[in-house]
Structure 1
Amino acid sequence: MAKNNVLPFPYEFKELEPEEQELVDQNFQSMPSSYVRVGPKGYVLCKTYMKEAANIYNMPVRPTDVFVVTYQRSGTTWTQELVWLVANDLNYEKAAEIPLPQRYPFLDCFMFFEQDGKERYIKNLEATQPDFDKEKFLELFNMLNTPVTPMLAAVPPTETRFIKTHLPMSLLPPNILDTAKVVYVARDPRDVAVSCYHHAKLFRILGNVGSFKEFWNVFLKNLCM
C-alpha cells in the first residue's frame, strides 16, 4: 500500500481503435467523442472517468455504506427503491418526498457529461426539441458533471450512504465487499441490449439514430455506454 493508504490505480487506459471510435460516433452522435478501454477486460468508459478513477478506487468505504452495483438497464431503479425501503423500515412517505437521485448519489454520472461534449448535446437538443431551455440545461449539466466523491466524504459517519454505480466491481474500492453492503444485479444480456436500445432512442440527448441491428453490433463489441 502506498503512503497515506492511497493505492495507485492498477489498470491501464487505452484509446479505442479508430474503427471502434467511428462506430460509436455513428450510433451516438451527441455523446462525448472520447472513450477509453480500461484494464485487461477492456471496459469501455468515457475518457473523463480517468480524472476520477483513482479517487473512486481509493474512496474510503464505511461499514454502513450500501452500494447498488449494476450494468445499465438491468433493474437499477427498482432495486434502489427496494433496498432503500427495506433499510428505512418501509418509510414510503419519506421515499416519496426525497427524489431517488438525492437518496442515491450516482458515483460515475459525471463521466457522461464532459465539458468538451457539451456543445454536441446542445446542438442535438436544439435540433430535436422545440421547447429546449438552454439555460436550465446548462445548470443541470454543470451539476451532473461534478464528481460526487467529495459530497459522499462529507456525509456524517452516523448516516447511511446509499450509492449507485454502473462501474465494474474491479474498478471500485478493493475492500468494498469486506466492508460495505453490496447489492449486485445482473440481467440477461439480450434483454439489456433491447432495453439499452430503446433507452437510447427515448433520450434524444444521446443522438442515437441507428437501427437495432446497428445498435446490436455496437453492443456486442462492448461499445455501448
Structure 2
Amino acid sequence: MLLDSSHKATLLEEEELAQQEKDFTGYKHGLVRLNPGRWLFPAEFTKFANGLFNFKWRNSDVVVMTYPKCGTNWTQEIIWTMRNNANFDHPLAMDPLMDRSPFFECDMFFAEEVVPGSSEMNECPSFQRLCPGADPKDGMYLQISEATPDPRTIKTHLPFSLLHHSMLDTAKVT
C-alpha cells in the first residue's frame, strides 16, 4: 500500500511477524513496515496515515515531537501550561493532559474493535465535547487534534518523513 507520504506500507507476515509479536507482545492485530525508513507500526496505522500526513497545521500550533520515553509528557505539560494557564485558572486545567494536548497518532494503538460506547471513548471526554456525533473509528485523537481550539499543543512521536513538510513552515516544533 502506497501512502500519501510516499512510504510503502507492507504487512508483516510469517517469520518476521512471529518474531516481532514475540518481542512486542502488545500488538496483536498485525504490524506494518514502512519503507523507506523501515519504520514499524501497528497495522492500524495505515488506516490513519494519510489523515496524519495531510493534517492542517495552524500558525498558532506547537508540536511536541520527541522519541518515546524521553520526557514528552513533562514537556507537553509545561508548554500547555505556559500557553494556556499561566495563572492556573484555565477551565481545562484539570482535564487529563491527553485531552488538553492530544497525542496525534494515538489512534493506531486502538484495535479496530473500538466502537462508540467503548471504554476508550468513555475515557476521552474531549472527544465527546469537541466532536459531537463523530465516529471514533475515524480516529478519536486525529479528530480531537483537528477540533481543538487555538492555541493547540499537539504531541507526536512520528518521524518528520511521515508528516507533511508544510508543518515546519506553519507550526512551531519542539
Q: TM-score, normalised by structure 2?
A: 0.76
Runs of 5+ unmatched residues, structure 1: 1-6, 119-135, 184-225
How far is the alpha carbon of 1:8 from its aligned partner? 3.3
Q: CA deviation at 1:143?
A: 6.4
Match for residue 79 of structure 1?
75
The residue number in structure 2 matching 1:42 is 38
1:149 equivalent to 2:145? Answer no
Q: 1:140 aligns with which of 120, 139, 153?
A: 120
The Cα of 1:93 is off from its aligned counterpart by: 4.5
Partner of 2:170: 179
Q: In the TM superposition, what whole-angstrom CA distance separates every residue of 1:68-87 from its partner, at most 9, and x where no partner exists?
A: 11121111111101111222
* Conserved 8 A contact 1:65-1:162: yes
2:154 alignment partner in structure 1: 163
Give a deviation string over 1:16-67, Cα, whole Å, max 9, x none. Answer: 3533311222233342331111121110011111111111111111101111
Larger proportion of helix: 1
Report the secondary structure of 1:105's partner residue.
coil
The answer for unaligned runs of 5 or more in structure 2 is 125-135
Measure, in 2, the Cα distance between the counterparts of 1:114 and 1:14: 18
3-state SS of 2:155 partner: strand
Alignment of 1:117-128 (within 5 A): none
Q: Which amino acid aligns with 1:103?
A: R
Task: Please tell me whether Structure 1 or Structure 2 has the larger radius of gyration of its CA atoms.
Answer: 1
Q: Give me the whole-angstrom Cα distance separating, in 1, the residues matched to 2:108 and 2:69.
A: 17
- 8 Å Cα contact 1:15-1:37 kept in structure 2: yes
Does 2:99 correspond to 1:102?
yes
CA distance 1:113–1:97, shift in 2 (3 Å): same
- Asked if 1 retains the 8 angstrom alpha-carbon contact of 2:43 and 2:108, the reply is yes
1:113 matched residue in structure 2: 110
Aligned length: 156
Separation of aligned partners in 2, 1:162 and 1:73: 18
Between the aligned partners of 2:153 and 2:142, the Cα distance in structure 1 is 13
- 2:65 is paired with a residue whose SS is strand
TM-score by length of 1: 0.61
Q: 2-side partners of 1:143 and 1:182: how far apart? A: 28
Q: Are the aligned partners of 1:25 and 1:33 in contact in 2 as well (CA < 8 Å)? A: no
Contact residue 10 and residue 32 of structure 2 kept, 8 A: yes
Distance change >3 Å, CA 65–CA 31, structure 1 → 2: same
